[in-house]
Amino acid sequence: MLERVQGKYRRTVAAVLCRRLVKMQNAMPLISFTFDDFPLSALEVGGKILRQHGVAGTYYVSLGLLDREESVGRICSVVHLKEVLSQGHELGCHTFNHCDAWDTEPESFERSIVENQRALVSLMPGSIFETMSYPISTTPRPTTKEQTGLHFSCCRAGGQSNNVGSVDLNYVRSFFLEQSKDDPGKIFDLIERNRLANGWLIFSTHDVTDRPSRYGCTPRLFRDVVSRAVGSNTLVLPVSAALKEVLGGARNGHDLFDDSFRPGGFST
């Protein structure tokens, strides 16, 4: 009971404080597919399914985990980072140390963001993370949310819902597939409701294997969801490309930002 109360409190304060709200300007409904941690199966299996349907996704990576064996399987290596980009996918930030968005002190969380960007530049000169996702809890402290939003065009959270009408760019909602693995009809229904609402639906997961971790999904489920998304008269785009559609009509997108929340980039 206490854990549920704490979880609700954290989700509430994360959702209502330090917002960077913009009105959604997309001409068509949008769907994005994202993978956290970037285990190899996310590219070798999930990426293959996306390519078979002619679409691309976003891979959120913690560069401090490269080549390690984690609960979601083997994490990618440098060669896979380059492969993701060559296939038209997006690389996103997941902090260098895979920091819990709530339990980590805001200053440490921000240092890990900067360290991840510096590591990316060292490995792939000229590259930059445009978007990020909050690791582990997916629920940031308000101060963490505010500071993180200054570094990225948008920051993806959880929430098990889509974004309709307006979106908080510091807390873009997403839907983790594994939470409805036993009820795929719920996922398909959300795709249809997102289409009718002209919304932005972001699907999230980790590994894509026949025996997934508690954080992943099976290839069959992933394939069914991608197929349904592509066939729904919806634009399926990586997060950064979908965001450009959301910000459509504004000069470089910046006219829609509050002055106190303009992405500030990375200091070196």
Specify the CATH number for the domain of residue 200: 3.20.20.370
Its domain, for residue 25, covers 20-258
pLDDT at 216 over 80: yes
Q: What share of the chain in percent tops pLDDT 90?
A: 85
CA nearest neighbour of 232 among 203, 193, 205, 204: 193
The reply to whether 61 falls in a domain is: yes
Q: Which pLDDT score is estimated for 40?
A: 98
The reply to whether 12 falls in a domain is: no
The reply to whether 208 falls in a domain is: yes
The reply to whether 106 falls in a domain is: yes
The reply to whether 166 falls in a domain is: yes
Number of independent structural domains in the chain: 1
Q: What distance in Å separates the CA atoms of residue 140 and residue 149, rounded to the nearest whole number?
A: 11
Q: Are 136 and 148 in contact (CB under 8 A)?
A: no
The reply to whether 11 falls in a domain is: no
The structure's pTM equals 0.92
Q: Which pLDDT score is estimated for 2?
A: 66
Instruction: Express each pLDDT in 149-191 by its tens digit.
Output: 999 999 999 999 999 999 999 999 999 999 999 999 999 999 9
The reply to whether 5 falls in a domain is: no
- Provide the token pair at 214: 């508690």
pLDDT at 104 over 90: yes
The reply to whether 212 falls in a domain is: yes
The whole-chain average pLDDT of the chain stands at 92
